[in-house]
Amino acid sequence: MDTASTDSTPANEVPDEPIPAMQQLLDNPFLLLFLGIAMPTVLYIVWGVMEIVGIPIAK
């Protein structure tokens, strides 16, 4: 895209300036969903369960 006035962009959207990466992340609910599940699953559940499983059983 050479100029800001190309017809490929709809009239009511800002034609220039690429969307920043952070905004692309925030605009993508499914990516956020992935992150929101992955973080606690790994850091809380998996790590916690591994610790519990590692406790030696009393004889």
Partner 1 sequence: MAVNRNFRVCPSTGLSYHEPAEKLMRWNAVAAVVSLLVGGVLAVLIVLTRWQAVHLLPPDWFYLLLTAHGLDMLVFWIIFFEIAVLYFCASTLLRCRLAAPNWAWAGFWLMIVGALVNNVAVFRGDSSVMFTSYVPMGAHPAFYLGLILFAVGALIACFVFLGTLAVAKSEKTYHGSVPLVTFGAITAAIIAIFTIASGAIILIPTFLWSVGLIGHIDSLMYRTVWWAFGHSSQQINVAAHVSVWYAIAAIVFGAKPMSEKVSRTAFLLYILFLQLASAHHLLADPGLTSHWKIFNTSYAMYLAVLASMVHGLTVPGAIEVAQRQKGYNKGLFEWLRKAPWGNPSFSAMFISLIGFGFLGGISGVMMGTEQLNLIIHNTIYVPGHFHATVVIGTTLAFMGLTYFLIPTLFRRELMFPGMAKWQPYVFGLGMAGFSLFMMGAGTLGVPRRHWDITFAGNPLAYDGWAGGTAWLMIAAMAICGLLATVGGAMYLLITVGSVFLGKRIATPDFAYVKARDGVAPTMKPVEVAFEAHGSNIGTAGFVAPGTFVLALVFLLSFVLYYFVNWKYLSTVWPLS
d(CA 2, CA 21): 21
Q: Please tell me whether residue 43 binds partner 1 under the rule CB under 8 A.
A: yes
d(CA 18, CA 22): 12
Taking the complex as a whole, how short is the minimal distance between the CB of residue 7 and partner 1, in angstroms?
17
- How many other β-carbons are positioned within 10 Å of the β-carbon of residue 34? 11
Q: What is the H or E stretch that residue 33 is in?
A: helix 29-40
Q: x/- site string to partner 1, residues 1 to 40, per CB under 8 A?
A: -----------xx--------xx-xxx-xx-xx-xxx-xx
Residues forming contacts to partner 1 in the complex (CB under 8 A) are 12-13, 22-23, 25-27, 29-30, 32-33, 35-37, 39-41, 43-45, 47-49, 51-52, 55
